[in-house]
Structures are given as structure tokens and as C-alpha cells.
Chains A and B, each alone.
Chain A
Amino acid sequence: MRQSLEDEFTAFVAARGQSLLRIAHALTGDREAAQDLVQGALAKAYARWPRIHTDAEAYVRKIIYNDRASAWRRPGRQNEVTVADVPDVAAGDRHDQRVADRITVQQALLSLPARQRAVLVMRYLEDRSVEETAEALGCRPGTVASQASRALVKLRDMVGDRITSMGGAR
């Protein structure tokens, strides 16, 4: 690869690596898995950098989401974090309650199937529209909407009625 393209790849990773790791960590909940996911996606990007360098970030993010979302389909791979019971959190003041809610939802989120989690991360971390999410995941907008809906229903089932109101996805 030409030196200018090599430099461009290095600069891209320096500029966007942390942002990509944040997405990967939200998807996996595991630091090593997140690093592996991003490194794998960047490696694929590097392998075809001359072709994709003009739209590298979209390419890498698509690989991250798809590698993660498709991983659960591979036989023998267990990608869900089993949460037998979402732990009860002692009632406290308003701030404590906020923290407790976040921990409860975080654990429930990590127990969702990877594809549903991918949809929620795109929608809630990246504020992507249904159409943008569908394009990145290579599915129809209707599938994104149904995945998001099913994920929210699952989350509500898991966290019980301690979180009572649920609005529509943006």
C-alpha cells in the first residue's frame, strides 16, 4: 500500500479508534471482546483500504455491528450474558435510584441477543434513525423496528415494574 494511504489509515485509527471502541464496548460489555471486535473490523478495513478509505468510518462501523450481530448465529457461540435474576437494588434517594436503574437496565441489556442489542446501541448511543440502522445492519427498516420493540418488551419483562413507563423509540 502506498505510504500516503498507510499514513491515512494510521490517522484514521488515531482519530476514530476510541469512538469505535465505545460502540464495541456498548455491544459486548467486555473490554477484551470490544478490542478484538474493533481490531478485527480495522483489519478488514486495512485489507481493502485503497477501496474504502473515502468512507472508512461507515465501513468499519458496519463491520463492527454485523460481526457482532451475526456472531450469535454461529453454532457453539454463546454471546448472551446470562442474567438469572436482575438483582434487587435497595431503595434510596433520587440519585441512588437513578444509578440503580442504570445498573439494572445495563445488566438486562447485556442479556439481550446480540442483534437486538446492536439495534438498541445504534438507536440510543448513536441516535441513528430506523433507516440508518437498517442500512448498517443490512436489513429492512421494519426488522429494526420489530427488533427494537421486542428488545424493549424483553427489557421491561426483565426489569419488572420498577421501571414503569415506556415511551416510543425515537
Chain B
Amino acid sequence: MRDLEESLRDAVLDLADGAPLTENLATVARARGRRIRRRRRTALGAFVVVMFAAVAVPYVALRREAPQPVVEPAPTVTVTPSVLTRALPGFSIKSPYRLPGGATVSMLTLPGADDSKMYVSLDRSTGRYRQLAFAYDPLGMSADGKLFAGSTGSGKVRVLDAADRTVDTIGVRMQFDIDSKPEWSPDGSRLLLPTPDGFAVYDVATKSHRVFENSAIRYFCPDLCYFTWLPNGREVAVGRRDDNVPRSEARAAVVASADIYSADTGKLVRSIPMTGVPASTDAWSPDGRSVLVRVQDEDFSTSTRIADTTTGALRGDPISGQALFLGDGRILAIGSRHAELFTADGIPLEEATLPRQFNDAILTVTRN
């Protein structure tokens, strides 16, 4: 009997030999490529028009525009018998865009030209949105919107301000996994960077960083492999898969816990039994009892659930979209077309339709 690898090489060559002959490849690719370009330009153009209209349109014309209403936050936490649905007003660069529950859209990520990203962020000092001059992907924005961080792709991470001025350059090679990015601590004093062998923590005040190498973190990381901060700003969380379950490329990893590491020492502090991964740094409830986790089914479909921070027990129905806890304990979820408010136990309170301007945008939301 022949060697398996020899047979494998023959089999791969046979498959390659069975390829169809080229026919109109360039014509079809050109047509599809032009459609890609048009889609990008449309998305980009819509926002560029909005962005620069305020500058280019004469003052008189601006005065004729009706003032944009701002969505008021719901005053109290009450469970209503039926869910209210309403349409949110259109987005304008001239004022902070508020979502149900009083959260603010602090940044829009839009498809830019040539596979790049375009960022439009809120300048809190003027209350207006402005297009950022850089397109790092992924980009981490501090909670106050003043600092940004992105990998330069050459083993360095650049910390910069909205005017594209370098604050510092950190000599850390970032690891890129799905959904991972430079993660700012809640108070903006530290920056967490995932690395191939663990993680690094940068301190803004001292402009210094520490690298914590622990290859077990990545080895045991589930398919959703990213770090988030805990509200205390001194600990970070990352998922850990169940190592009793054999790994398979065909199935999502089974999550066993959220492992909490000290951002000061890099040591494992505790493990919370969990079937999902903390969704974001804003996923922890103000009372510390709950955390929003992303749970993956075997077929990789993902939903957001509310989990107990002690036992990991899930409660409530799955929540669709990107979710966070608001300061008053309610939950806000942002989907592709809707924003939804829930009680801390996941009972729907209010649903709102997002303006069509957000159709191609990823919203970064800051709770007030």
C-alpha cells in the first residue's frame, strides 16, 4: 500500500486538474468589482455629504433646517405590559445622537474605500461628530473619546488623539482574533492589548507597558477569543474553553469559564463558571451581579445572554445585537435596524427603529 501523503498529493493534483477552463473570468470579475466599488462609494458618499454639508452649505441654508430632535432618555425603570415601538430621528453630525435609555452614539464605523474603515466620532467638547483622519482596523477608542489606539502592523501600537497626533508608540505586537481590539479600561487610564502569548497592559500616565506571557490563555481560548475589562479597571476577563471536550474545526468550542486576570500582575485571579464570554467592557451590570455574555451554539451561531457573575447561570431570553448595561441597570441592545431596551432581567421595555443612515454603520455606544 502506498504512503498516505503520496496518495494525498495525487488526490489534490487530480482535484486541481478537474478545474473548469477559464471563461470570461476577467469580464465577470470586473463587473463584480465595480459593484463592490459602487457600494463602498455609496456608503462613504452618504456620510461624506452629511459630514461636509455643515461646512460647505451657506449659513442661511443651515438656518432653514429644522432642528433635529433628540431622543430623551426614559425617566424611570418600569416594566410595561406591551413593548413600545417608535422610529428614532435621523442622525446629524451637529449634535450627540442619543439612543433609548440615554446612551450616546460615540462613534460610527463605516465601510471606507478599498476595504478600509472610516470612523466618525463624537467630539465631546463641541458636541459634534467629525471624521477621523486615520483608519486603523481594529481601532480602540477610550470611553471619553479622547484617545485612540491601533496597530501599525509592524509590531507596534500607536496611541493617538482625534487630531491624529501621536501620544505614544507602544512596542507590542498585537494578536488579531475575531472581535479583539485594543481595549481601553473604563476610566481610560490603561490600554489592554492582546498578544500572541498573552496580553499587555499600557499605562497612559506613565507611558509604560507590561507584557504578561501566558501561553495557556490562548491555548484554552474558545472561538470567541478576546479580552475585556472588568468595571474595576484592574482586572481583565477572557473566555476559557472546556478542555474535556475534544476540539473540532467543525463545531464551536464549548466555553467552561470566564477567567479573570489581574492587570497589575498578569496572574489568574479567579474563574467564573460560564457558558459564554463577557460581551464587552460595558457588559457588567452596575450592581456587579450580572454580565452579558456571548454564547455560541455548536454551529457557531451567537446570541447574547444575561449571566450571573457568581454561578454563570443564564437568565432571560437571548438578546440579539450588541448589548450593554446602562448606568441605571437597564440593558440596551443595538441590532442592525433596531435598538431595544430591556430590564436587568431581560424583559423587553421599548423598541426603536434606527434611522437608515445607520444601515451600513457599526455603532460604538457610550452609556451616560
Q: A residues within 8 Å of B by Cβ?
A: 9-10, 13-14, 17-18, 21-26, 29, 31, 34-35, 38-40, 42-49, 51, 72-76, 80, 97-98, 101-106, 109-110, 113, 115-116, 120-121, 124-125, 138, 140, 147, 150, 152, 155-156, 159, 162-167, 169
Contacts and interface: CB of A to CB of B under 8 A. Distances in A.
B250 A23 contact: no
A39 B28 contact: yes
Given A75-B301, A159-B4, A166-B5, A102 B26 contact: no
A89 to B, nearest CB: 12
A13 to B, nearest CB: 4
A151 B2 CA distance: 18
B19 interface: yes
B60 interface: no
A40 to B, nearest CB: 7
Given A22-B19, A29-B15, A31-B18, A169 B25 contact: no
Given A21-B22, A22-B17, A25-B20, A152 B4 contact: yes
Contact of B249 (A38, A51, A105, A115): A115
Contacts of A164: 1
A109 B11 contact: yes
Nearest to A50: B114
22 contacts: A13-B29, A21-B21, A21-B22, A25-B20, A34-B20, A35-B25, A40-B32, A47-B36, A47-B37, A47-B115, A98-B2, A101-B2, A102-B7, A103-B11, A105-B4, A105-B7, A113-B249, A124-B8, A152-B5, A159-B4, A167-B3, A167-B5
B249 A147 contact: yes
Q: Which 7 A-B pairs have the closest CB atoms?
A: A46-B33, A42-B29, A43-B32, A25-B19, A113-B249, A22-B16, A13-B26
Interface string B29-69: 11111111100100000000000000000000000000000
B9 to A, nearest CB: 5
A25 B18 contact: yes
B25 A45 contact: no
B14 interface: yes
A34 B19 contact: yes
B29 A43 contact: yes
A139 to B, nearest CB: 10
Main secondary structure of the interface of B (DSSP, over half): helix
Given A44-B115, A106-B15, A156 B9 contact: no
A126 to B, nearest CB: 9
Main secondary structure of the interface of A (DSSP, over half): helix
Nearest to A152: B4
Contacts of A35: 20, 25
Contacts of A115: 249
Contacts of A73: 223, 300
A82 to B, nearest CB: 11
Nearest to B5: A167
Contact of A113 (B5, B21, B250): B250
B19 A46 contact: no
Given A43-B29, A43-B30, A113-B248, 20 more contacts: A13-B29, A17-B26, A25-B15, A31-B19, A38-B29, A42-B33, A44-B36, A46-B29, A74-B300, A98-B10, A102-B14, A104-B7, A124-B5, A152-B4, A159-B4, A162-B1, A163-B3, A163-B7, A165-B3, A165-B4
